[in-house]
């Protein structure tokens, strides 16, 4: 680490955004259709290294969102302030019950 970096600066290793997406009712097919339109919106963002959503094997109404960003700012100041985020929100946010907690994780340990 150089003198200008802090212990919370993860530009080298990136950060992982994680959200458990619980759906209301039996909306999984409609959610997956909307998701196919929404994922390209986040994947094309500056600072997005990858984005995927995985279905839960035990609960068909639960999905896991995993997005690798170069840093938290790329997500919060970049994507969340973009027109693409407004479209993402319109496509997906009506499916969630409850609204998901979104957290950011640092580089792998070890």
| Residue pLDDT, tens place only, 24-53 | 988 899 999 999 999 999 999 999 999 999
User: Tell me, what's the pLDDT at 10?
Assistant: 38
Q: Which residue has the tokens 């938290």?
A: 72
Note the CATH number of domain 26-103: 3.30.70.100
Where in the chain are the domains?
A: 26-103
In this structure, what token pair is assigned to residue 1?
A: 């680490």
Residues 56, 54: Cα–Cα separation, whole Å = 7
pTM of the model: 0.86
**Contact, 62 vs 19, CB < 8 A?**
no
- Report residues of the chain scoring pLDDT below 50: 1-11
Residues 33, 2: Cα–Cα separation, whole Å = 46
């Amino acid at each position: 680490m150089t003198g200008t970096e802090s212990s919370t600066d993860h530009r080298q290793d990136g950060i992982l955004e994680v959200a458990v997406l619980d759906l209301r009712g039996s909306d999984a097919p409609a959610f997956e259709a909307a998701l196919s339109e929404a994922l390209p919106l986040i994947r094309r963002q500056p600072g997005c290294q990858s984005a995927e959503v995985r279905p839960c094997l035990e609960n068909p109404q639960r999905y896991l969102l995993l997005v690798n960003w170069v840093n938290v700012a790329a997500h919060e100041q970049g994507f969340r302030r973009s027109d693409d985020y407004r479209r993402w929100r319109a496509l997906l946010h009506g499916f969630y019950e409850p609204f998901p907690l979104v957290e950011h994780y640092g580089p792998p340990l070890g």
